[in-house]
Structure 1
């Protein structure tokens, strides 16, 4: 789908009239979630959400590992050589970084704040899907925990599921949301 338009930004208080030339080429590369047990989280994100692990980086002196996950576009070519793949990873859009602080998986009482309990902060990440009904059937068949199913609540056609650490993941089908937030 290609759009040509003069649209640059909605106008709201605090929104700059234009992007500074100095920001040309800036890309939102990744967001990071801390995870208790990387094997459990990697299973969820690769098996249930279809992401692929691009790179694992270990930092033994600081006792943590980083896992960079990506949802590849069909036909996308990813470098095999680790150094080239690392550089490529940091040039992409929309990656998920899972950070594992070593030893947390051994502590039965360890958990991270999901951002939705009080005091609220971080809220969720989001996946758009081509068919919401099929995605819900897939999540149901995999025993995924829900915060909200698409038919529940005031905003319909949007689901919220939980990952193994309790982080919320919004699931939506873009075509169903054209009227979202419109006054009637």
Structure 2
């Protein structure tokens, strides 16, 4: 049996702030939206231009307090050809970013940027995209 990755879902406190981050910081595009006012939530699906995988933002209307991210989820990862340029752009835009990092004994190959809800996004040096 063959399976294909479809999407990952995260809950967000402020849908507009999250959309601004994922569009502005990562260049993701909204591919569809489903509003359920009778159940008081909205689903927004974001993807890159290749549409291989989606992030589903779930916004429950008027959440009372921030979600607990837990200690099991670690991060999402995206690749970029110009790692240093991306890192600089994220820092200049005021996003929370780590220093460039590498695995022990390797040159820097990645860094993390944090979204408005505290989710970590790993940005990895990739080949041609």
TM tier, shorter chain?
0.7 to 0.9
Residue 160 of structure 1 corresponds to: 112
Is residue 42 of structure 2 the alignment partner of residue 65 of structure 1? yes
Deviation at 1:44, TM superposition (A): 0.4
- Return the TM-score normalized by structure 1: 0.63
Is residue 56 of structure 2 the alignment partner of residue 97 of structure 1? yes
Q: Which runs of 4+ in 1 moved over 3 A?
A: 151-156
Between 1:163-172 and 1:59-68, the stretch displaced more is: 59-68
- Return the TM-score normalized by structure 2: 0.87
Q: Secondary structure at the match of 2:123?
A: strand
Residue 78 of structure 2 corresponds to: 127
Q: Which has the higher strand share?
A: 2
The CA distance in 1 between the partners of 2:38 and 2:101, in whole Å, is 48
Residue 91 of structure 2 corresponds to: 140
The CA distance in 2 between the partners of 1:71 and 1:101, in whole Å, is 24
Is residue 125 of structure 2 the alignment partner of residue 173 of structure 1? yes
Q: Greater relative contact order: 1 or 2 (C-alpha under 8 angstroms, separation 6 or more)?
A: 2
> Relative to structure 1, is the Cα distance of residues 143 and 153 closer, same or farther in structure 2, using a 3 angstrom cutoff?
farther
Q: What do you get for the CA RMSD once the two structures are aligned?
A: 1.8
Residue 114 of structure 1 corresponds to: 69
Structure 2: runs of 5+ lacking an equivalent: none
The CA distance in 2 between the partners of 1:30 and 1:127, in whole Å, is 14
Q: How many residues align?
A: 125
